[in-house]
């Protein structure tokens, strides 16, 4: 059975966008094209959880079909890997639920199946999550307030690649920061299966004043298209996932 590729954008930010189009709108657009958008909001040690700028975090993930989480700096590593895995399960579960609806009728979902059967279905979901290929565009906010958080972000991304590379399925990552020098985003690392090489690149990041989250998301979305013709083949495989859902 050929497994499809899951596509994710992982946005790491600490506050509100202040330039360009609405990020939640762009996230919805990405979701329409089979890309889930996950958001991690980083709090300062003295901030409370309902800090105003971080409301946007939840909105973006909701319309991007992804997962959002707001964390303090120390717990970032585990959150990054948890959010990514959770979003994968969620996406696959979405496929499986769609299939279930076709079989059981439109009002049925996993919750309406008796617990014994549910176990078997979840086994399939887990199995797909383990073996599917995964592509992640990591989008790091490098506006001024993020500056001292960047070393932690770097560590947690290396940690993410340890986790994901322990899976059976293949992974590819690329990293962008925003705002870029002249453009909305700037490439930090091109598509690569490992993130170990980011140690050298990361300290060179400069921080700017504006936060164009929306335009940056749009650019990130296009990165999935830039990988030559291969993508269109992958897309076909992806519909494969839906059919071979279980």
Partner 1 sequence: MKMNQTWKKQDIDFKPGTQITGKWHKKQYKIKRKLGKGAIGTVYLCESGGKLAALKISDKGTSMTVEVNVLKSLQQVQGSRLGPYLLDVDDWVSPYGVTYSFYVMEYLKGESMSLFIKSHGNVWVGVFLLQLLEDLEKLHQSGWVFGDLKLDNLMVLSSPTRVRWVDVGGTTQKGRAIKEYTEFYDRGYWGLGTRKAEPSYDLFALVMVFLNIYYPRRFERVPQSEKLLYKKIDNVKPLEPYRNPLKKAIAGKYQSSAEMKRDVVKILYQVQNKSRIKKKSNQKVSNIPFYIEIGGISVIALGYYLISLLF
How far is residue 76 from each of residues 1, 9, 13, 88, 208, measured CA to CA in Å? Answer: 35, 17, 12, 18, 22
Q: Is the dihedral of CA 101, 104, 108, 111 positive or negative?
A: negative
Q: What is the largest CA-CA distance in the chain?
A: 56
Shortest distance in whole angstroms from residue 81 CB to partner 1: 9
Q: What x/- string results for residues 94 through 113 when contact with partner 1 is judged by CB under 8 A? A: x--x-----------xxx--
Shortest distance in whole angstroms from residue 105 CB to partner 1: 16
Of residues 44, 49, 123, 148, which one binds partner 1 by CB under 8 A? 123
Shortest distance in whole angstroms from residue 122 CB to partner 1: 4
Question: Does residue 79 touch partner 1 according to CB under 8 A?
Answer: no
Q: Which of 166, 206, 171 is nearest to 10 (CA)?
A: 171
First CA to last CA distance, the chain: 11
Complete edge-to-edge strand list for the sheet that includes strand 186-192: 65-72, 35-43, 5-13, 133-141, 171-178, 186-192
Query: DSSP assignment, residue 11?
Result: E
Measured in degrees and rounded to the nearest 5, phi and psi for residue 7 equal -115, 130
Q: What x/- string results for residues 25 through 44 when contact with partner 1 is judged by CB under 8 A? A: --------------------
Span interacting with partner 1, options 1-9, 47-55, 114-122, 206-214, rule CB under 8 A? 114-122
Question: Does residue 194 touch partner 1 according to CB under 8 A?
Answer: no
Span interacting with partner 1, options 11-19, 48-56, 125-133, 200-208, rule CB under 8 A? 125-133
93 contacts 129 by C-beta, under 8 angstroms: no
Question: Does residue 159 touch partner 1 according to CB under 8 A?
Answer: yes
Of residues 55, 168, 197, 225, which one binds partner 1 by CB under 8 A? 168
Helix or strand holding residue 70 (H, E): strand 65-72
Question: Does residue 122 touch partner 1 according to CB under 8 A?
Answer: yes
Question: Does residue 65 touch partner 1 according to CB under 8 A?
Answer: yes
Name the residues that contact partner 1, by CB under 8 A. Answer: 62, 65, 77-78, 89-90, 93-94, 97, 109-111, 114-116, 118-119, 121-123, 125-126, 130, 159, 162-168
């Amino acid at each position: 059975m050929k497994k499809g590729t899951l596509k994710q954008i992982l946005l790491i930010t600490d506050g509100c966008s202040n330039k360009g189009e609405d990020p939640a709108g762009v996230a919805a657009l990405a979701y329409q094209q089979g890309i889930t958008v996950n958001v991690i909001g980083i709090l300062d040690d003295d901030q409370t959880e309902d800090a105003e700028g971080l409301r946007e975090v939840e909105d973006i993930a909701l319309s991007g079909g992804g997962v959002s989480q707001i964390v303090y700096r120390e717990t970032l590593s585990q959150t990054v890997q948890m959010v990514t895995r959770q979003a994968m399960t969620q996406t696959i579960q979405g496929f499986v639920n769609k299939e279930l609806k076709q079989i059981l009728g439109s009002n049925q979902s996993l919750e309406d199946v008796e617990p014994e059967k549910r176990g078997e279905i979840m086994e399939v979901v887990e199995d797909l999550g383990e073996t599917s290929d995964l592509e992640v565009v990591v989008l790091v906010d490098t506006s001024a307030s993020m500056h001292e958080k960047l070393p932690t972000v770097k560590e947690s991304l290396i940690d993410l690649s340890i986790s994901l590379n322990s899976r059976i399925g293949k992974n590819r990552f690329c990293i962008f920061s925003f705002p870029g020098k002249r453009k909305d985003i700037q490439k930090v690392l091109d598509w690569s299966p490992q993130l170990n090489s980011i140690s050298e690149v990361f300290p060179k990041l400069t921080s700017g004043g504006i936060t164009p989250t929306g335009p940056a998301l749009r650019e990130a979305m296009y990165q999935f298209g830039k990988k030559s013709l291969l993508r269109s083949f992958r897309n076909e495989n992806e519909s494969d996932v839906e059919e071979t859902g279980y």
